[in-house]
C-alpha cells in the first residue's frame, strides 16, 4: 500500500479550506436565524380575523328596452348573454344584486368588528364568516367615510380578539404581517416591511397612512396589519396599482387613528373632527425662497373661509403654518391630521411665517363642515398690455367673480401668456391671479403697478386660481427680463 504524504503546506491549505467552509455554513445559519418566524403569530391571531361578504343592489346600465340579440344555440356567448339579459331574453331587471368580499377583525369578545367603509358601503346584507366556519349577520354600528372606517356588530359571545398595538411606535424597515381574504381565499398570510410612515394620499386628507410592501390584493381590505409582537398596528386599506393587483405599494390606516374613530362611533355613531377653515398647499424650494424661508416646510394658506376659526384668529392668505399645538408641520399633509384630531373648542397656538417673519396665532378649533361658498362683488372690466412677465390679464366683472367664487374685488384673468417669467412659473391662459408678492390683485391696472415693484433674480409668490382651486407658484424675473 502506498503512503499518504502530507506536507506542512498541504496541511495548512486543508485547514484554511475547512475554516472557510465552517465560516460560510455558520454565516448561513446566523442569517437564517435572523429571519422572522411568523408561525406562532398566525396561530394566535388567525381566529380573530374574519371574512366579510356583502350584497348590494346595483342599477343596470343597459338602456331600457335593449334586448338580447338572436344568437345560435351553440354560440360560446350564449350562456353569458342569457345571464346578462335574463333567461327569457326580455331584458335585465332594473336592479340586480351584486356581491363583494373583504376582511375584518374582532376587537371585542362581544362581537365588535372593524373593517373598511368601502367594504360595506351601500350593503343590504353583511355576513361575517369566522374561522370555525360560522356565518353571522352583522349590523353597522357606524361608518366614517373620511377615514374609510366601519364598525360592525355580530351577535356572539366569547369571541377571539386581536391585541391592539401602538402605530406611532412603528419604524421604517420593521417587519409586518397581513392576514386577510384576497380574492376570497380566507386567512391568507403575507409579510413585508414598513416602507414609510405618515404617507398622504391625494384622495385622503385625515389619515397618515402606513406604507408597506406587504402583498395586498382585492379582498384584503379591512384586514389587520400585525407587528412581530402579534399586535395590530394598522388596517389594510388601499394599494397603488396600474394593473388592479399588487405592485409593491400597500397602505394601511394606523391603528391609533382607527381606534379613535371606533371610540367615537361607539359613543355617538359619528366622528367629529376639528377644523380651522383654510385651504392649504405644500411648500417647495422656490416657494420657500419667495416667502423668505431658509428651507421648504409647512403648509401655505391658499384661502381663508369667511367666519371660520382661522379668520377669527387672524390667518391670512400667504401665511405658512410651520407649527400647530407645539407639533412641527413638515409637509402640508401633517396639518389636517393634527387639526382633525384636536378636540373641538380647544384653543391652540399655531406658528406661521408671514412675509419672512415668525408670529404666533391663537385659534379655537371648530367643527369640520363643508367649505363655505365664497361670493364676489362688482369690478370694472379692464385689459392690460403684455408686461415684463410676458402675459396679458383682464379685470373681472361681478358676475364672473360670483361664478368663480372669488371674494371681494380680487382677481384678474390671464388672457395670454408668452415666453417669459410667467410661463416659466407655470402660469397659463385662463388662470386667475389673486395675489402677487403677498399683495392682493384687484384690477388689471393695479396688477401692472405691482409688476413694476417686483425684484429681479429673486423668487416671489404668486397665488392663482385654476379650475376653482387656488395654488401658489414661485415667480422669478431674471436680469434679462427687466
pLDDT at position 72 over 60 = no
**pLDDT tens, 325-338?**
999 999 888 999 89
Q: Which of 144, 148, 334, 431 is catalytic?
A: 148
pLDDT at 33 exceeding the cut of 80 = no
| Residue 292 near residue 353 (C-beta atoms within 8 A) | yes
Query: Exposure pattern of 176-198 as b/e (b: 16+ CB <10 Å)?
Result: bbbbbbbeeebbbbbbbebbebb
Q: What does the alpha-carbon distance between residue 216 and residue 88 come to, in Å, rounded to a whole number?
A: 40
**pLDDT score at 23:** 58
The per-residue pLDDT for 384 is 45
At 169 the pLDDT is 93
Burial of 365 (0-12, 13-18, 19+ CB in 10 A): buried
Does residue 231 have a pLDDT over 90? Answer: yes
Position 7 pLDDT exceeds 70: no
pLDDT of residue 307: 87
Answer whether residue 176 shows pLDDT above 90.
yes
What number is the average pLDDT over the span 335-359? 93
Q: Which of 179 and 416 is assigned the larger pLDDT? A: 179
What lies within 8 Å, CB to CB, of 63 at 6+ separation is none
Lowest mean pLDDT among 27-41, 83-97, 218-232: 83-97
Residue whose C-alpha is closest to residue 118's, from 204, 4, 47: 204
Is the model's pLDDT at 100 over the cut of 80? Answer: no
Q: Are 157 and 109 in contact (CB under 8 A)?
A: yes
pLDDT at 81 (0 to 100): 54
**Partners of 474 in beta bridges:** 461
Q: Write the DSSP string, 289-332.
A: HHTT-SS--SEEEEEE-TTSHHHHHT--TT-EEEEETTEE--ST
Q: Report which listed range, 51-60, 98-107, 235-244, is most confident.
A: 98-107
Mean pLDDT computed over 441-458: 85
The confidence band for 80, taking pLDDT boundaries of 50, 70 and 90, is low
Please tell me the predicted confidence (pLDDT) of residue 11.
56
Tell me the C-alpha distance between 329 and 413, whole Å.
33
Res 375: pLDDT: 27
Tracing cell 401665511 back to the chain, one arrives at 319
Q: Which residues are CB-neighbours of 160 under 8 A, at least 6 positions away?
A: 47, 48, 106
Distance CA 330, CA 327 (A): 9
Q: Residue 383 carries which DSSP code?
A: B
Statement: residue 407 has pLDDT above 90: no
Residue 10 annotated in active site: no
Residue among 118, 290, 395, 443 flagged as catalytic: 118
Which distant-in-sequence residues (6+ apart) come within 8 Å of 460 by Cβ? 290, 436, 437, 454, 474, 475, 476
User: Which cell is 214 given?
Assistant: 406587504
What is residue 430's three-state secondary structure? coil
What mean pLDDT do residues 135-154 have? 94
Per-residue pLDDT at 9: 63
Q: What value does the CA radius of gyration of the chain take, rounded to a whole number of Å?
A: 31
469 counts as catalytic: no
pLDDT tens-place string over residues 456-475:
888 889 998 888 888 999 98
User: What integer pLDDT is reported at residue 103 of this predicted model?
Assistant: 95
- pLDDT average, residue stretch 238-266: 87
**Closest listed residue to residue 412, CA positions, set 368, 451, 374, 357:** 451
In percent, how much of the chain has pLDDT > 70? 78
Domains of the chain: 47-70+78-154 (2.40.10.120), 163-268 (2.40.10.10), 274-367 (2.30.42.10), 391-481 (2.30.42.10)
Based on the number of CB atoms within 10 Å of its own CB, is 318 exposed (0-12), middle (13-18) or buried (19 or more)? buried
Mean pLDDT in the chain?
Answer: 82
User: Is 213 among the residues known to form the active site?
Assistant: no
Q: Catalytic pick from 167, 190, 195, 221? A: 221
Banded pLDDT at 239 (limits 50, 70, 90): confident
What backbone phi and psi angles, to 5 degrees, belong to 372?
Answer: -70, 135
Q: Which residue has the higher pLDDT, 380 or 72?
A: 72
φ and ψ at 14, to 5 degrees?
-65, -45
- 270 DSSP assignment: S
Amino acid at each position: 500500500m502506498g503512503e499518504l504524504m502530507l506536507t506542512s503546506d498541504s496541511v495548512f491549505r486543508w485547514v484554511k479550506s475547512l475554516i472557510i467552509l465552517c465560516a460560510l455554513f455558520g454565516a448561513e445559519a446566523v442569517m437564517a436565524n435572523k429571519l422572522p418566524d411568523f408561525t406562532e403569530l398566525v396561530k394566535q391571531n388567525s381566529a380573530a380575523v374574519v371574512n366579510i361578504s356583502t350584497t348590494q343592489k346595483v342599477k343596470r346600465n343597459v338602456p331600457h328596452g335593449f334586448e338580447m340579440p338572436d344568437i345560435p344555440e351553440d354560440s360560446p356567448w350564449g350562456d353569458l348573454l342569457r345571464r346578462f339579459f335574463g333567461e327569457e331574453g326580455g331584458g335585465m331587471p332594473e336592479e340586480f344584486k351584486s356581491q363583494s368580499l373583504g376582511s375584518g377583525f374582532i376587537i371585542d369578545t362581544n362581537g365588535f368588528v372593524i373593517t373598511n367603509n368601502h367594504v360595506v358601503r351601500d350593503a343590504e346584507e353583511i355576513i361575517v364568516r369566522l374561522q370555525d366556519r360560522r356565518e353571522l349577520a352583522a349590523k353597522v354600528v357606524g361608518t366614517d367615510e373620511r377615514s374609510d372606517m366601519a364598525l360592525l356588530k355580530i351577535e356572539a359571545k366569547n369571541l377571539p380578539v386581536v391585541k391592539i398595538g401602538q402605530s406611532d411606535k412603528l419604524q421604517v424597515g420593521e417587519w409586518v404581517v397581513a392576514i386577510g381574504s384576497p380574492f376570497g381565499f380566507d386567512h391568507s398570510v403575507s409579510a413585508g416591511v414598513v416602507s414609510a410612515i405618515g404617507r398622504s394620499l391625494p384622495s385622503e386628507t385625515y389619515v397618515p397612512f402606513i406604507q408597506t410592501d406587504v402583498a395586498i390584493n382585492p379582498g384584503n381590505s379591512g384586514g389587520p396589519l400585525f407587528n412581530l409582537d402579534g399586535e395590530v398596528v394598522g388596517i389594510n386599506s388601499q394599494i397603488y396599482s396600474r394593473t388592479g393587483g399588487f405592485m409593491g405599494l400597500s397602505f394601511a390606516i394606523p391603528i391609533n387613528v382607527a381606534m379613535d374613530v371606533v371610540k367615537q362611533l361607539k359613543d355617538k355613531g359619528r366622528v367629529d373632527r376639528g377644523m380651522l377653515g383654510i385651504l392649504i398647499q405644500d411648500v417647495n424650494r422656490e416657494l420657500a425662497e419667495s416667502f423668505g424661508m431658509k428651507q421648504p416646510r409647512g403648509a401655505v394658506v391658499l384661502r381663508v373661509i369667511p367666519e371660520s376659526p382661522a379668520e377669527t384668529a387672524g390667518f391670512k392668505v400667504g401665511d405658512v403654518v410651520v407649527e400647530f399645538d407645539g407639533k412641527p408641520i413638515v409637509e402640508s399633509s401633517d396639518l389636517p391630521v393634527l387639526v382633525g384630531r384636536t378636540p373641538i373648542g380647544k384653543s391652540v397656538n399655531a406658528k406661521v411665517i408671514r412675509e419672512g417673519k415668525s408670529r404666533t396665532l391663537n385659534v379655537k378649533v371648530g367643527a369640520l363642515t363643508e367649505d363655505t361658498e365664497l361670493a364676489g362683488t362688482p369690478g370694472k372690466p379692464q385689459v392690460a398690455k403684455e408686461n415684463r412677465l410676458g402675459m396679458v390679464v383682464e379685470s373681472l366683472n361681478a358676475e364672473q367673480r360670483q361664478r368663480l367664487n372669488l371674494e371681494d374685488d380680487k382677481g384678474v384673468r390671464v388672457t395670454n401668456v408668452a415666453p417669459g417669467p410667467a410661463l416659466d412659473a407655470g402660469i397659463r391662459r385662463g388662470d386667475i391671479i389673486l395675489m402677487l408678492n403677498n399683495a392682493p390683485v384687484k384690477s388689471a391696472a393695479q396688477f401692472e403697478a405691482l409688476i413694476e415693484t417686483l425684484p429681479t433674480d429673486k423668487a416671489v409668490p404668486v397665488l392663482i386660481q385654476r379650475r376653482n382651486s387656488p395654488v401658489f407658484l414661485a415667480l422669478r424675473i431674471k436680469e434679462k427680463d427687466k
